[in-house]
Amino acid sequence: MNGHKQNGKPIQRVENPRISSFLEILEIIKDNGGRQLTSKEIEDKTTVGHTRTVEWLRYLRFCVDHKRSFANGYIYSKRINEKNHQPQWIYWWDGKQ
């Protein structure tokens, strides 16, 4: 995976489709250079469907909250959607962390 390391060694792409879809989501967030993405924008760039994307993003929030090492640099927050005025999750990569 692009730039992700574990114990100083690059993480290799896992052939398990469930794990691969999570790694794909992490790559999409990281490759957008700090631009804030909604779950819908992430979903549109993945090869997985809506439900799986939402599940993996929920897991990413859990990992960020619990300070898992691979989640360093990933940030999430909520903002109000301009069209429907409902809160929505946004995700981005901050390489400074």
pLDDT in tens, 16-71: 666 788 999 999 999 987 899 999 999 999 988 899 999 999 999 999 999 999 89
Residue 1, in any domain of the structure: no
Whether the pLDDT of residue 2 is over 70: the answer is: no
Instruction: Quote the number of domains for the chain.
Output: 1
Question: Domain limits at 60?
Answer: 14-93
Provide the whole-model pTM: 0.77
3-state SS track over the chain: CCCCEECCEECCCCCCHHHHHHHHHHHHHHHCCCCCEEHHHHHHHCCCCHHHHHHHHHHHHHHHHCCCHHHCCEEEEEEECCCCCCEEEEEEECCCC
Instruction: Please give the residue that has the higher pLDDT: either 24 or 4.
Output: 24
Distance in angstroms (rounded) separating the CA atoms of residues 77 and 47 = 24
Residue 5, in any domain of the structure: no
Residue 9, in any domain of the structure: no
CATH number for the domain that contains residue 80: 1.10.10.10
For residue 11, the Cα-to-chain-centroid distance in whole angstroms is 16
Residue 26, in any domain of the structure: yes
Residue 41, in any domain of the structure: yes
